[in-house]
Amino acid sequence: MMGATADLAGKHALVTGGGRGIGAAVARALLAAGARVTIAGRDANTLAATARELAALGEIGCATLDITDADDVRAVFARIGRVDILVNNAGQAASAPFGKTDEALWQRMLEVNLNGTFRCTHAALPGMLDAGWGRVVSVASTAGLVGYRYVAAYCAAKHGVIGMTRALALEVAARGVTVNAVCPGFTDTDIVREAVANIAAKTGRSEAEARAELAAGNPQRRLVECDEVANAVLWLCLPRSGAMNGQSLAVAGGEVM
């Protein structure tokens, strides 16, 4: 991870899904760069444990937040004050053949991955525009850039995030705010561990074989590390990255070019 700096001193960052995995790694990177960080998510105990772990790096707070609840999003943003840096990391992945993708699964993927990203961005943006500076970075997945079998709903939602990123980036381009996305490939997170267990259960393969199958899509023949994604997010948030706008960066070892 990039060395400790004070590049983001005085900035307040909110990281959704910040209690574990990529979100916790992003929080760590932003703290090391001098930002004050609020991590948000639905599990208060997980958030508190992560905050204790990261407290030595800087000022960190927690906010219990359900991004699928519009009232909750409004209340949390009103309580925590202006957000200079928003990292839309919270998300879920569910798989099913298209013929078995029912209305409930489809709506759940859109609600968490797309609508939740919209709600948080909508809440954070006015303060950024008033300040004349802001960074919005959404963790969108390579599923927002290409198609994958058996995850049509997830792909649709993540493609939507990238479409929103591009459109909003143009709207705010001259107002000191940048809007970008980071698109990890299969990353060593709870979501991938759940996918590995699901593949093993359904196919009879071992978890090691299932993990290797997911890693095989990466030309580097490995899973991406959370800190590698966090480095990309941090870079997009830095003041000297102001010319980066409307981009969707694949962090996937060359899987998507």
Q: Is the distance from CB of 183 to CB of 256 less than 8 angstroms?
A: yes
Orientation angle between helical segments 116-131 and 152-172, nearest 10 degrees: 10
Per the document, the length of the chain is 257
Q: Closest by alpha carbon to 80, among 113, 47, 57, 45? A: 47
At a CB cut-off of 8 Å and minimum separation 6, what does 78 contact?
none
CB neighbour burial string for 127-143, b if at least 16 within 10 angstroms, e if fewer: bbeeeebbbbbbbbbbb
Catalytic one of 106, 118, 154, 186:
154
User: Catalytic residue at 154?
Assistant: yes
The torsion angle over the Cα atoms of residues 41, 43, 44 and 45, rounded to 10 degrees, is: -130
Q: Which two tokens stand for residue 35?
A: 């930002």
- Determine the distance from the C-alpha atom of residue 72 to the mean position of all C-alpha atoms in its chain, rounded to a whole number: 19
State the catalytic residues.
154
